[in-house]
Homo-oligomer: A and B are copies of this chain.
Amino acid sequence: MKSTALILVMMNVVGSAANAQSAPKAAAVQMPDGAMAATPLLKDYIRRVDFDDIWQRPGLSPRDRSLVTIAIIVAQGRTNEMPFHFDLALRNGLTPRELSGVITQVGFYAGIPFATAAGEVAEQVYKKRGIKPEELSVSDTLLPLDKSADAERANGVNRSVGGFAPDLARYTNDFLFGDVWRRTDLTPRDRSLATIVTLATDDHVAQMTYHLARGKQNGLTAPQMQEVLIQLAFYAGWPRAFSALPAIEKAFAPAPAVGAKKP
């Protein structure tokens, strides 16, 4: 059996769903002639299955798909992919301030050294594009806080962390949630998306429950999360997508109808 035929069939199925909506197309990707000469089969997969198929799927905007991909490669420390994907993200509509916001947010969830490594690459990309400092600055004014919801969140942190490590609890409440999460470089929805993807990339499944519920409240939807899983499979590896799926399904799947029998 020829694999080409198989792929064409698959793309056809996927394509029919894509054409049902007039979604924005991902920025065109031209793979240079000599690229990936050492792994021609992988190059073929990336072109056909990744860029010509998955990146064109309508369930997640190209801009969001870039945001997800960037969160993955920053959390992985894959500096080799950053010049290409940072540039693609900007062409797909992510602003420089948002791109730097994703890098910063991933830093707090994967470790600051991953953010500083990505920042060095971003600086080169911004220089080439003539991005000015004022396009990257972030206001000191913080987003308003839902005091009741935040008190509940803080109580959870104080219960689980505050007993043994009260200062870590305070940094978590006052700094991480009281400052970082309230900045305007990212919308709460985008910040949730970057955080969830970082947790999945680092296999922090147990810690996804809270952030999935928060992300849903911040506006993420089930169809978007289905696409996030596909993006995770390709960029963070199949096992990470499969590990993250049960928590995502639990948070985003529609509740079963009342009276429905379990199989």
Residues of A within 8 A of B (CB): 1-4, 6-7, 9-10, 13-14, 36-42, 45-46, 49-50, 57, 72-73, 76-81, 100-101, 103-104, 107-117, 119-120, 122-123, 126, 133, 136-138, 140-142, 160-161, 163-165, 167-168, 170-172, 174-176, 178-180, 182-183, 185, 198-199, 201-204, 206-207, 222, 226, 229-230, 233-243, 245, 248-249, 252-253
Contact = CB atoms under 8 A, between A and B. Distances in A.
Given A76-B77, A77-B77, A239-B207, A137 B168 contact: no
A222 B163 CA distance: 12
Nearest to A173: B10
Contact of A185 (B41, B81, B115, B140): B41
- Number of copies of this protein chain within its complex: 3
A98 B80 CA distance: 23
Contact of A172 (B6, B201, B207, B238): B238
Contacts of A167: 14, 57, 226, 230
Contacts of A116: 36, 39, 42, 46, 80-81
A107 B44 CA distance: 14
Query: In this complex, which of A107, A176, A201 has the most chain B Cβ atoms within 10 angstroms of its Cβ?
Result: A107
User: Which of A7, A39, A140, A240 gathers most chain B CB within 10 Å?
Assistant: A39
Contact of A239 (B142, B174, B199, B237): B199
A226 to B, nearest CB: 5
Contacts of A136: 37-40
Contact of A10 (B101, B119, B174, B234): B174
A183 B160 CA distance: 38
A157 B248 CA distance: 16
Given A108-B238, A140-B4, A80 B10 contact: no
A39 B236 CA distance: 24
7 contacts: A39-B116, A40-B137, A111-B235, A113-B235, A160-B242, A161-B245, A163-B249
Contacts of A108: 237-238
Nearest to A227: B167
Nearest to A176: B238
Given A6-B178, A77-B77, A114-B78, A168 B226 contact: yes
A237 B110 contact: yes
A152 to B, nearest CB: 17
